[in-house]
Amino acid sequence: MTLTTWFITGASRGFGRSLASAALEAGDQVVASARRPEQLADLVERYGDRAMTVALDVTDRAQADAALTAAKERFGRVDVVVNNAGYANLAPVESTAEEDFRRQFETNFWGVYNVSTAALPLLKEQGGGLVVQFSSVGGRVGGTPGLGSYQAAKFAVDGFTRVLAAEAAPFGIRYLVVEPGGFATDWAGSSMDVPRIPEEYEETVGRLADRLRSAPAAGDPARAGEILVRIAHSDQVPTHLLLGSGAVTMAVDHSAAQIAEATAWHGVSASADFGAAYPVDLPAGR
């Protein structure tokens, strides 16, 4: 039997750790990467030769190339590449230091770019594979106060992946964008820096900070990992997968609002064409 081989970034905790464990429990082979691979030693101890750890800072393209090369040399191929590494700091755009804004974007978007493009030659050579890009329901809906850099990067990941999927389809490469809602990971814990929030942003950013600190997350990362392993083993791979009931509700409501707005403004939008009736009345009300 040919085993499925996974390459997972940010595997030391959160979704990455849960997914690595789920894949190994399913009998697959996993290359688990992290900036500190010693944090993954227990996977090798428990699962033996089916687990491999590599050092990877996703912002370093050379490291991404080296890590994927090592994975191929060890297991012969990589069937599933998972871009999971990422983090968010919480602050208003106005008061976020540019260096911090750029550093978040460097990991959350350019890290995905680095690993995705490093994987392409390998996946093309072997005749296909699956690339799983971790985004967020915020990368579909947006507008969460305090998450300017994070959500901007997640929107960029989605647009980037849509183009990759169209370009790489002839090579048998599939792409899945995962959009979780609130999950019981460390994303809003020690991984998130929350500097002092300016008083004028207490009603927006401050309110979110309070909610993140006090409200328990409904999503189970272990179940999420098992779901993704099942999907990777099947022929039914969606282009986007919402995870968690809250994410589904947010996405459906957002899509309905988008359709309603596009419909209400259809006449104005169409009037921009040569030969169309012009001017037309703006929609009544807000």
Q: How many residues does the chain have?
A: 286
Cβ-Cβ contacts under 8 Å for 242 (sequence gap 6 or more): 137, 140, 179, 180, 181, 248, 251
- From the candidates 135, 136, 149, 175, give the one annotated as an active-site residue: 135
Residue 136 annotated in active site: no
Residue 154 annotated in active site: yes
Long-range contacts of 43-46 (CB under 8 A, 24+ apart): none
Q: Answer yes or no: are the C-beta atoms of 181 and 224 closer than 8 Å.
A: no
CA 110, CA 244: separation in Å to the nearest integer?
A: 26
CA 78, CA 80: separation in Å to the nearest integer?
A: 6
Residue 116 annotated in active site: no
- From the candidates 47, 113, 136, 154, give the one annotated as an active-site residue: 154
- From the candidates 47, 113, 150, 201, give the one annotated as an active-site residue: 150
- DSSP of 49-64, one letter per residue? GGEEEEE--TT-HHHH
Q: Which two tokens stand for residue 244?
A: 């968690």
C-alpha distance from residue 83 to each of 57, 71, 76 (Å): 12, 15, 20
Buried b (16+ CB within 10 A) or exposed e, 58-74: bbeeebbbebbebbbee
The catalytic residue positions are 135, 150, 154
